[in-house]
A and B are shown apart, each in its own frame.
Chain A
Amino acid sequence: MAGPRNISVSEASRPVLPRHARLKYDETRQVWVILAPERVLAPDEIAVEVLQLCNGERNVGDIADQLAAKYAAPREAILADVIVMLQDLADKGFLTEAREKTS
């Protein structure tokens, strides 16, 4: 068994979409969607931007740095918002944490 997957999102987390969830641009409806079994979600623009940065390599702190620089906004406020959003996604099973590479 792969062990518990429920994650507690913090500045050090390196979040990534789980394999069953795919972020995709829907050409027909002109919106971004997350595809998962029996679910199609429509993340808003900010969520899309954050999720595109969630590649399992960057940690949440890196993501907040990038967004703070891009929007010239206070990093602490952005970090807090990003953590709340990602935790919500994680609790619903649409976000996981990159597993430690075992080489």
Chain B
Amino acid sequence: MSDVLGNPAIPPDASDSLAVLEKQRSTAETFGIPLAVLLEITHRCPLQCPYCSNPVELDRSGKELTTGEWKKVLSELAEIGVLQVHFSGGEPTARKDLVELVKHASDVGLYTNLITSAVLLTRERLSELADAGLCHVQISFQGVEEGLADRVAGYKNGHRKKLEVAKWTRELDLPLTVNAVMHRQNLHQLPDIVQMSVNLDADRLEVANVQYYGWALKNRAALMPTVAQLDECTRIVEEARERLKGRLTIDYVVPDYYALRPKKCMGGWGRQFFNISPAGKVLPCHAAESITGLDFESVRSNHSIAWIWQNSEAFNRYRGTGWMKEPCKSCEFREIDFGGCRCQAFALTGDAANTDPACALSPLHETIFKQAEREAEGETNRFLYRNFAGGTLESENGA
């Protein structure tokens, strides 16, 4: 039966009346155009979460694509077979033209999802987005009560505003996903976050453990959970899934630090995912710009998006298995996980072609993950907040 797009752990079932489409396509090795594309329309954001998935080098507003350029991108995506777009950021509602972009995406037949922190939305603007054809709203939560949640976000009264916008979302009959990014300092609130999602009448909850690249890597000592916390997290998710079957769908992203096998990051480099940065770069992953020495093509170049996907050097560099070194090269799992995450390999080993140290077969696995374990047991709780200035360290007494 059906399962999450990009979840490679579950083998295809021939008797399945609702097979996952990407699965069927990816076995054909065609690298056909992805079904869903992430549009990071701006890096501007009022929040300062220390695990932000944006690169440490943020695109300033002057570099952002114009309204006309984004509309052209949306038309082109629909034309080449993309079915869904996620409007993300930064904070996508920081763009004044968001309603216009959503309207255009709907007009060209795309399923539209808004991934937002919600703090800049008014009820009127949300209603305009619904009228423009918005299909789904995903709101991030940093915790379950404002003390911790506002501290993590580095934004006063944010939590209260998010609850309000979540309520408006359901009043406007828009489907709602609660996105909860989890780490050592908020994992104890998970049972209450599940209950909050039910109370908010959400359709879906994403329990997303922090992935340690970019900003999160800088904050690893303050965020890394203990093994015991993770085991408890998994238990809570499994229990809630069973109890809330048919009422609340729960997607669960585990951190790979304590795993023995790496994740098939992005479904494999250049296989089923790309995103577009605020400045128009077409990227195999939202962290890809952290890998130095790769040249990413822009939608502002003379090339079409389909050409960039199929032919650009950056997409082909780590596609398939030809680029691999040992121990990946001769590994029986090389087409299962494609050597894990290239960005993590680069960040932790200095070479994106090395085996992701999340893999137990990486020579660096022991050292790096023992260190993470020590950090998890440590007392360092101060955050380095995300901003355009390269980060600001939280004061001793918080905030």
B199 to chain A: closest residue by CB: A1
Q: How far is the CB of A32 from chain B (nearest CB, A)?
A: 10
CB-defined contacts of B1 to chain A, threshold 8 Å: 88, 92
A18 in contact with B20 given A38-B5, A91-B245 (CB within 8 Å): no
* A90→B135 CA distance, assembly (Å): 19
A83 at the interface (CB under 8 A from B): no
B84 to chain A: closest residue by CB: A35
CB-defined contacts of A37 to chain B, threshold 8 Å: 113, 136, 138, 175, 177, 203-204
Q: Which of B2, B32, B81, B109 has the most CB of A within 10 A?
A: B2
* A19→B133 CA distance, assembly (Å): 12
CB-defined contacts of A34 to chain B, threshold 8 Å: 18
B4 at the interface (CB under 8 A from A): yes
Interface 1/0 per residue, A61-95 and B, CB below 8 Å: 00000000000000000000000010011111110
Instruction: Give the number of chain A interface residues (Cβ < 8 Å).
Output: 37
B19 at the interface (CB under 8 A from A): yes
* A42→B204 CA distance, assembly (Å): 20
Q: Which residue of B84, B199, B203, B246 is within 8 Å of A91 (Cβ)?
A: B246
Q: Which residue of A4, A35, A43, A93 is within 8 Å of B249 (Cβ)?
A: A93
Q: How far is the CB of B91 from chain A (nearest CB, A)?
A: 19
Q: Which residue of A6, A18, A27 is within 8 Å of B175 (Cβ)?
A: A18
Interface 1/0 per residue, B3-47 and A, CB below 8 Å: 011000000000001111110110000001101100000000000
Q: How far is the CB of A13 from chain B (nearest CB, A)?
A: 13
Q: Which residue of A6, A29, A40, A44 is within 8 Å of B36 (Cβ)?
A: A40
* A81→B20 CA distance, assembly (Å): 21
CB-defined contacts of B84 to chain A, threshold 8 Å: 35, 40
Q: How far is the CB of B205 from chain A (nearest CB, A)?
A: 11
CB-based closest 7 A-B pairs:
A6-B246, A28-B81, A20-B175, A42-B21, A93-B249, A35-B111, A6-B247
B residues whose Cβ falls under 8 Å from a Cβ of A: 1-2, 4-5, 17-22, 24-25, 32-33, 35-36, 80-81, 83-84, 109, 111, 113, 135-136, 138, 170, 173-175, 177, 199, 201, 203-204, 244-247, 249, 251
Q: Could you pull out 7 A-B pairs where Cβ atoms are within 8 angstroms?
A: A5-B246, A24-B109, A28-B80, A37-B136, A37-B177, A43-B18, A91-B246
